[in-house]
Structures are given as structure tokens and as C-alpha cells.
Amino acid sequence: MSNKNTKKTHRVPLFKRPVVIISLTIVLVAVVALTIWAFMYFSGSDKTDSKEPGSSQTTQPSKPQDPSQQQPDGDKNNAEPERPTQFEGEDPNELPELTGSIILNTHDASNLTVAVGIDQYLSSQGTCHLELSRDGRVLRTSDLAATADVTTSGCGPFIVPIAGLAAGTYQLKVSISGDNKTGVVTGEVQI
């Protein structure tokens, strides 16, 4: 059996065809140019007064170099770079009282575990006194030392036995003292 079409044809792979290479190059250049244009258009460049395409560019007048001729809004080019502030507002270490919050408040059938985060750094060891109360009556107390961390301090974890307490809502009050300051952190726990 013989094959009538024994003539072999040579096919050039698709990726080696000049038309395909030229087309892909044009598409790549167009995508890069469009990306650059979009970046410049949407970046809000300070060199133009109008952001409409096709508008003419106007340059801003240069600021005076003489500090006595500086504009009232301030020339920040010569100023020290602005650093982010560490706190939004005042430094908690400069407050006249200790502040904080209950950062751990869990319990199982026999124990209540409480930890308090103190917003201030205590340079000397402080004390923490926990009171668990209900209806104005103190039912359990515990005392621990307040320990300093890198920029803050903490108390706990307090392990308070709760066996024999009825189910319900109890009030937590942690009195903290240290560095000649005092403060109170309060919260509630559902047992």
C-alpha cells in the first residue's frame, strides 16, 4: 500500500512566524504605554493644574530660597522629614493615673482567669488587687505584682476559685498602683 501524498511539507511553528512575533511585540508595547499613561494620569501629578487629558501643562512658580520670604503655609522641602507619632493624643506615661483594660477573662467550672493590661510602663514593681463582687458584695479577692513589659505593664493572670458561686453576672475591679500612681480597671464576667 502506497501513500499518494508522500510529499512532506515543512510547517513553521506558530511562535516563530514573523506575523505572530510582530503582532505580539505591538501588543506588548501598547500595554506598556497604556500602563504608563494610566499611572501618570491617575497618580495626581503636581505638575498640572487640570487632570483632563489633552490639557496643557503649566508649571508652578518656584518657591523662594530665602527663608525670610517663605510662604505662611510652610515650605516642607527644607524641613526635617515628618515622623509618625507613636500615640494618637497624649503619652499615657504622662497621665496622672494608671489606666488599662482587662485583656483576658475566661473561666472553667472551678477557676476564673483574669489578666489586666496597663497602658503605662512601670519603672518600679507595682501591685494589683482584684475583687470579684456581685450586688455590691465582694466575694473573692486576689493580689499580684504588676510587671513591666517593653512599653506597658501587666497584671496576671489572676486565678480565682469560683466553685460554689451561683451562675450570673459578676463585677471585676482591679486596683493597680505603682510609680506613685493609682488606677482602677473594671469589667464584668458571666459565670
47 shares its domain with 105: no
Does the structure show a pLDDT above 60 at 52?
A: no
Residues 100, 186, single domain; the answer is: yes
User: What is the pLDDT, as a whole number, of residue 16?
Assistant: 73
pLDDT in tens, 149-169: 888 999 989 999 999 899 999
CB-based burial of residue 155 (10 Å sphere; 0-12 exposed, 13-18 middle, 19+ buried)?
buried
What cell was used for 82? Answer: 515628618
Distance of alpha carbon 64 from its chain centroid, rounded? Answer: 39
**Is 86 contained in some domain?**
no
Q: Which residue has the higher pLDDT, 45 or 32?
A: 32
How far is Cα 172 from Cα 129, in angstroms, rounded to an integer?
10
Q: How far apart are CA 106 and CA 168, in angstroms?
A: 14
Q: Poorest-confidence range of 23-32, 69-78, 121-130, 149-158?
A: 69-78
- How is residue 27 annotated by DSSP? H
Q: Is residue 138 part of a domain?
A: yes
Instruction: State yes or no: pLDDT of 88 exceeds 50.
Output: yes
- 102 and 39 belong to one structural domain: no
pLDDT (0 to 100) of residue 113? 95
Which pLDDT does position 81 carry in this prediction? 58
Stronger pLDDT, 47 or 184, i.e. the higher one: 184
Average pLDDT over residues 27-34: 92
CA distances from residue 58 to 14, 33, 61, 150 in whole angstroms, order as listed? 49, 23, 9, 52
Tell me: do 97 and 153 sit in the same domain.
yes
Q: Residue 77 falls within a domain, yes or no?
A: no
Structural domain of 168:
92-190
pLDDT of residue 119: 92
| In the predicted structure, residue 61 carries a pLDDT above the cut 60 | no
Residues paired with residue 140 on neighbouring β-strands, in sequence order: 132
pLDDT at residue 181 is higher than 50: yes
Q: Assign 59 a pLDDT band (cuts: 50, 70, 90).
A: very low
Query: Does position 50 have pLDDT exceeding 50, yes or no?
Result: no
pLDDT value at position 77? Answer: 54
Residue 168 domain-assigned (yes or no): yes
User: So what's the pLDDT on residue 102?
Assistant: 94
* Backbone φ/ψ region at 79: left (φ over 0), alpha (ψ -120 to 50), beta: beta
105 and 164 belong to one structural domain: yes
Share of the chain above pLDDT 90, in %: 48
Q: DSSP letter at 30?
A: H
Domain count for the chain: 2
Instruction: Say if 76 falls within a structural domain.
Output: no
Residue-wise pLDDT for 109-121, tens only, equals 899 999 999 999 9
